[in-house]
Structure 1
Amino acid sequence: MPIRKKTKIVATLGPASSTKEVLKGMLDEGVDVFRINFSHADYNDVAERIQMIRDLNKEFGYNCAILGDLQGPKLRVGVMKEEVVVHPGDEIIFATGERFEGTKERVYMTYDRFPQDAKPGERILLDDGKLIFEVVSSDKISEVKAKVIQGGPLKSKKGVNLPNTNISQPALTEKDIEDALFAIKHQVDWIALSFVRHAEDLMQLRDLIKEHSEEKIPIIAKIEKPEAVENIDKIVAHCDGIMVARGDLGVEIPAEEVPLIQKQLVLRAKKARIPVIIATQMMETMISSLTPTRAEVNDVANSVMDGADAVMLSGETSVGQYPIQVIRQMANILKRVEDSPLIQVPQLPPHIRTNRYITKSICYHAANMANEINAKAISTLTNSGYTAFQISAWRPLSHILVFTSNKRILTQLSLLWGVKAFYYDRFVSTDETIEDVNNISCKMGYLEEGDMLISLAAMPIQSKGMVNTLRVTEITSCPI
């Protein structure tokens, strides 16, 4: 039986991954989720890509998910009139209001409330921290005077980070609301919100989804601000997954602090039993090279060993020269390290007696028992996907095979570690249903004669209630 990876790969769509042939090649190599970056999205192109992915899913039996990633309040400078280089000690004005072309003395800033929020002594970082300025003064209306601390080329439309400034702009901008409505209309599987700072940011997005969608669309909180790290407990309570967005995080806080924060965030997600994605610069050199650096291979491997559900590629698949090869390389790393005994998952059994306690407890014990008896797979029937989230979080060594009649969650579950979902809509007697799903698992190559299997189900099957039954079976025969 071939080794199947359990850690999921998220790949960003872009000009390099815009044809059906390339998308199919990426799916064949192991992509589980395609990400739409709404910072650089043309709606017509996006609608076309979504249709391509859904066609490929249907044609070749994939269940690839689509993640819509909202830009959030990304701050930028405007367009520069000519090439500008600034030097330490230079003074420059950051101005809001009507757009204009920037010069060495004056540059446009997209953040309208910057003059009201900026205070003397605060830092302004440009272009991922390559340029550093310090606020000298603000007229509190439309202009902020700053001096250059670290100079260099000041280029058009580069991102701005304000690590010390208390930003009053909401996390969900007008552009984000428009993009979210487009994403909801096209029934994306997950929506990610950038620059989350407080739980309220997520509540606003949740309300918007509820208002415009009959189906629940799970939300991923992107952690890239120091406030988000401080408020992580409240944020985790209001999202369905988190993303450790190391690019902006490494600019907003000292870069040397990011590795430990990554570990802390992964651990926090695991305790909450929600998925966590590690993102940014994972295989950056493969944008233009066929081989990653040893450091990049280590980074991907260490993210998996920290306990990540998924690892993400950005420029490597959106604009890179080798979008298919980078997926192959990444999949090989994942398969090599993900079953290592060095990976430790917090094993705190569920203790709060909520109405889900029985289901949580059964999932926890199923994962532990699977490891004890060396079960090849845990299979579960679900309508909401809840049991898949629970079992995945306990990281059993076995495969997690999920059978559902709810087509909407088939693709959503593709983000979860170790989960493989199948469409199944015959809910008859318990024995017959379990026999059915066992046969499907055999045909798909997940089970062989002599394998041990743990089956979870809600009894009676027809009522589609909460999981309340755990059953252990030895596979005596597999249909050919």
Structure 2
Amino acid sequence: MLTNKKTKIVATLGPACSTREIIKDMIDAGVNVFRVNFSHADYNDVKEKINIIRGLNEEFGYTTAILGDLQGPKLRVGVMEEGVVVHDGDLITFTTAEDILGTAKKVFMKYQNFPNDVNPGERILLDDGKLIFEIVETDKKSEVIARVIQGGELKSKKGVNLPNTKISLPAMTEKDIADAIFAIGQNVDWIALSFVKTPRDLQDLQELIAEHSEYKIPIIAKIEMPEALENIDKIVAYCDALMVARGDLGVELPAHEVPLVQKELIRRAKTARIPVIVATQMMETMITSLTPTRAEVNDVANSVMDGADAVMLSGETATGNYPVQVIQKMTQIIEAVEDSPLIQVPQNTPQIKTKRFITKTICHHAATMANVIKAKAICTLTNSGYTAFQISAWRPNAHILVFTSNQRILTQLNLLWGVKSFMYTKDVSTDDTVTDINEIVKQKGFVQKGDFLINLAAMPIKDKGMVNTLRVSEIE
């Protein structure tokens, strides 16, 4: 039995959930979207998992979505000697000239433009910010001298963050381009782009998708750099969803600033009516323990209360000991808080008269009216999925039931808050369609005799145009 929660769960695939049985148990426990993390992905393995998920969808009528998450330009140091420790005040040289074995005096930096991008006074953070260096001088060619501000053990191939530096790298490396082309070939439902800095990064990926697919695959912009926060309004205009990637965000920014940034990003996404995912360390202790900490329970609950469409698990499901139990626990937390009247939706009504203005307005009124007349469901017929995004963003109390003949969006919409989608291929007149859909909804147990239900449709139906009709029905 699938859960009835409205907030969606994204779970990362990995060795801990590689069998069909575990994947099915995770879907039954509440997973709506599976994430492929291309930082650690083997193409054959990914193909196998995607086939398992799609096979389960077909067999059991699930609509589980697949999200391809590109690694982005992760800066790293080279291989180090064993047991290298640096102390506060020490000077160390980062070189891009040759791939040397690192010591406490000199380390190889894999990023070739590093000496040219950085300036004295800027900081280098290593190993998720455990080590901090300040740049003393750079020759702008191949060597940078830095002073240790916070020392510790220097380990091989650790990630580097440059919070004060404008990096000249594009958001997509050659690996990302290859991974994206592979993901597009697998018809994934969503693609997430890491370390987005400007709208140009998103346009590059959009162009790549257009080149390799006849379908538009929606893009999730992962917000994890201060530069992205400066450009957030422009980024929101070019992406289809946001992800609050708290891992790198908490390294690039002081950790105590992240909670407010999270709330602000969720508010921004909700105002723009696009979905938003909160990610990283949500149930971290459940990698090895059957019980989450009270703080983790609070964190998941607060993300839901802030208005996130989805909450995401990484290591908890990819490599953890309890991939199914962590989903059950998360579902429990979500169901306990998501109907709270304390959750507020930004009430900015559609203003700009774009070609979608009528549709947006109808969706807004459908959600508002559903709450006023206590309708049990809002049903919409859609070919593009646009109305599902719009209705979901208003967070009505009613079920949001989407009927479509477009196989592509059936699973895609599974990331959206409260949305359940169904295949519907009949092309009859509006009256017949409404009667037919209401009957299906009744059979599926979403409504019963006497309940109100709101139907949205584009008339005439066979033209598959934009929604222009709102109708209230009473179930007989």
TM category (shorter chain) comes to over 0.9
Cα shift at 1:294: 0.7
1:225-283: CA deviations, max 9, x gaps?
00111110000000000001011111111111111111111111111110000011111
Cα shift at 1:98: 4.0
Cα shift at 1:103: 2.1
Instruction: Report SS of the residue matched to 1:32.
Output: strand
Structure 1 counterpart of 2:275:
275
Structure 2 counterpart of 1:217:
217
Q: How do 1:314-353 and structure 2 match up within 5 A?
A: 314-353=314-353
Contact persistence 1:128–1:160 (CA under 8 A): yes
Q: How far apart in 1 are the matches of 2:151 and 2:164? A: 19
The residue identity in structure 2 corresponding to 1:223 is I
Q: How far apart in 1 are the matches of 2:429 and 2:220? A: 37
Cα shift at 1:128: 1.0
Cα shift at 1:3: 6.7
Structure 1 counterpart of 2:361:
361
Q: How far apart in 1 are the matches of 2:409 and 2:396? A: 21
Q: How do 1:13-412 and structure 2 match up within 5 A?
A: 13-412=13-412
The residue identity in structure 2 corresponding to 1:42 is D
Q: How far apart in 2 are the matches of 1:162 and 1:205? A: 23
Structure 1, unaligned stretches of length 5 or more?
none
The residue identity in structure 1 corresponding to 2:334 is L
Contact persistence 1:392–1:400 (CA under 8 A): yes
1:339-369: CA deviations, max 9, x gaps?
1110000111112222111111110000000
Contact persistence 1:3–1:335 (CA under 8 A): no
1:178-215: CA deviations, max 9, x gaps?
11101111111101100001111101111111111100
Provide the aligned length of Structure 1 versus Structure 2: 476
Cα shift at 1:432: 1.7
Q: How far apart in 2 are the matches of 1:103 and 1:41? A: 31
Instruction: Report SS of the residue matched to 1:435.
Output: helix
Contact persistence 1:240–1:274 (CA under 8 A): yes
Compare 258-267 and 81-90 and name the one that shifted more. 81-90
The residue identity in structure 2 corresponding to 1:176 is D
Cα shift at 1:93: 1.8
Structure 1 counterpart of 2:463:
463
The residue identity in structure 2 corresponding to 1:126 is L
For the structure 1 residues 3 and 23, does the alpha-carbon distance in structure 2 shift closer, same or farther, using more than 3 Å as the test? Answer: closer
1:76-116: CA deviations, max 9, x gaps?
11222312222112222222244333222222222110011
Q: How far apart in 1 are the matches of 2:320 and 2:138? A: 41
Instruction: Report SS of the residue matched to 2:31.
Output: coil
TM-score, scaled to structure 1: 0.97
For the structure 1 residues 99 and 46, does the alpha-carbon distance in structure 2 shift closer, same or farther, using more than 3 Å as the test? Answer: farther
Contact persistence 1:404–1:424 (CA under 8 A): yes
Identity rate, percent: 73
Q: How far apart in 2 are the matches of 1:2 and 1:15? A: 24
Cα shift at 1:49: 1.0
Q: How far apart in 1 are the matches of 2:451 and 2:352? A: 34
Q: How far apart in 1 are the matches of 2:45 and 2:79? A: 25
For the structure 1 residues 3 and 168, does the alpha-carbon distance in structure 2 shift closer, same or farther, using more than 3 Å as the test? Answer: closer
For the structure 1 residues 375 and 3, does the alpha-carbon distance in structure 2 shift closer, same or farther, using more than 3 Å as the test? Answer: farther
Instruction: Report SS of the residue matched to 2:79.
Output: coil
**Structure 1 vs Structure 2 CA RMSD:** 1.3
TM-score, scaled to structure 2: 0.98
Contact persistence 2:2–2:28 (CA under 8 A): no
